[in-house]
Amino acid sequence: MSLWLPVLSALLISLLGGLYVIGAFRRRRSKEPPLDKGHIPWLGHALDFRNNPVEFLQKMQRKHGDIFTVELGGYYITFVMDPLSFRSIEKEARSKLDASLFNKQFVERAFGYHYLENERKIQEVGNKHLMGDGLVVMMQALMKNLQNLILYSAGTVEDHKKWQQDGLLHYSNNILFRAGYLSLFGNETVKRMGSKEKAEEFDWVHSEELFNEFRKYDSLFPNLVYAMLPLKGKLEAERLKRLFWNVLSFKKIMQKDNVSRWIIDHLQLRQEQGMAEYMQARYMFLLLWGSQGNTGPASFWLLLFLMKHPEALKAVKEEVDKVLQETNQEVKPGGPLINLTRDMLMKTPILDSAVEETLRLASAPVLIRAVMQDMDFKIADGKEYALRKGDRVAIFPYIAVQMDPEIHPEPHRFKYDRFLNPDGTKKADFYKNGKKVKYFTMPWGLGISMCPGRFFAMNEMKQIVFLMLVYFDFELVNAEEDIPPIDQSRWGIGVIHPTHDIQFRYRLRF
């Protein structure tokens, strides 16, 4: 017995230590938000949250109120559900609430990229091209590639007036990914291919092949982010990563023409910091996914909502035609391509409202901050709560703001003019409990961690709708078909996806 006593003691200590590590002994402290750990040690509510975060968080909110802490896969996450309290999160110093810690873990797992010590400063310098004059240059490149792609596709049919059919999600993803990829990472050189025609043909074929591989990776993305890929999926994800790392290597990018200055600056800045070329390629893959992963699905929803609501489609089309006429441009057989400028896209308040309404209905990110030290946190009603170092604070705007019927009456209904005042100007006054809500939609994040590419993404959506309305007649194949349900696996990542595609058809107007 004396021999077994040390062994049993060691086992008991190990067991207690393991239980402590997985949070089995965690109890709610004074002033902390309500704590709900679930019934499964370490996992907590992770399975319920993963299966349907909307239903889960609504259930927790009914049970605990506007602030509560839940255990999800070993992490204790405090959800703040009151939009009037988001300002308290936004203004808190990074020494207390830091978004970068979660972002580092996210990009390392999804793209294999490791942050530099001064990553934030480098990104700020490189991202200057995503606004102002730099954005104008990027949008001009995108406009050229978008027009070439949509007309190249239409031109493959002998009779231009013949209807062509495609899945709307496939079409939106395909056109925007390929146009975005070519606009950012450049075109094949005429010198290498021998002629302009051969170089363009190579771009069309290469971008199509790359798009197919990108969709494979994106289909794995939710389970990759949540670390739930089976072995076969992990091997496929690794293969796809290596493919993109190769395509987006420094050597291959610098051999192309018309590479975006945004891309070149990011490469050069990282070279100056001594970053290895293999890690630079991983960052390029991150930029590709970040710029193209959500705009295709978002444009799918926008085009679908417009086709499902004829009054909205009519209003946007009239606005587009008016802007085109004001610039003395006309689409006609054999005529020049239109020159869609930034100034023109700034004269489309109806389209702007339709885009914002689409993002309200279709964007569902989870915004997370790491609690860096024990701290007090005051919400809008004046109550103060204690947050524990090592925990996370999270916002799920889809429930907290975008589907709140007090902020947005009839929240599940698409209203193309929801963000317009009666005089046609942009509406920005929304209220809850009689108080103005600063964040009435949150597709791009919060505060200094907002997506730096949001202006580029918005213009991508606007450009494809503008060009589709200018060049094509389009409609759903079955106007009575229901809007597809939401793919539950995409909650919390960005723009939601449908469970299946929906067929539409299009033909040239001239």
What is the distance between the alpha carbons of residues 40 and 47, in angstroms, rounded to a whole number? 10
Structure tokens at 330: 């006309």
What are the helix and strand counts (H, E) for the chain?
20, 13
What is the distance between the alpha carbons of residues 200 and 158, in angstroms, rounded to a whole number? 20
Contacts of 482 (CB under 8 A, 6+ apart): none
Strands (E), 452-494: 472-476
Structure tokens at 386: 């204690």
What is the sign of the dihedral through the CA atoms of 289, 444, 106 and 56? negative
Does 270 appear as a known binding residue?
no
Does 148 appear as a known binding residue?
no
What is the sign of the dihedral through the CA atoms of 400, 403, 408 and 410? negative
Does 282 appear as a known binding residue?
no
Cβ of 505: how many Cβ atoms within 10 Å? 16
Structure tokens at 183: 């606009």
Please choose, from the candidates 465, 466, 501, 473, the residue with its C-alpha nearest in 3D space to the C-alpha of residue 154.
Answer: 473
* DSSP-based three-state secondary structure for 345: helix
Strand ranges of the sheet holding 35-36, from the earlier edge strand across to the other edge: 35-36, 67-72, 75-80, 392-395, 367-371, 97-98
Does 392 appear as a known binding residue?
yes
What is the distance between the alpha carbons of residues 178 and 155, in angstroms, rounded to a whole number? 17
Query: Which residue ranges are tagged as binding site for substrate?
Result: 109, 294, 392
Query: Which residue ranges are tagged as binding site?
Result: 109, 294, 392, 451
Query: Which residue ranges are tagged as binding site for heme?
Result: 451
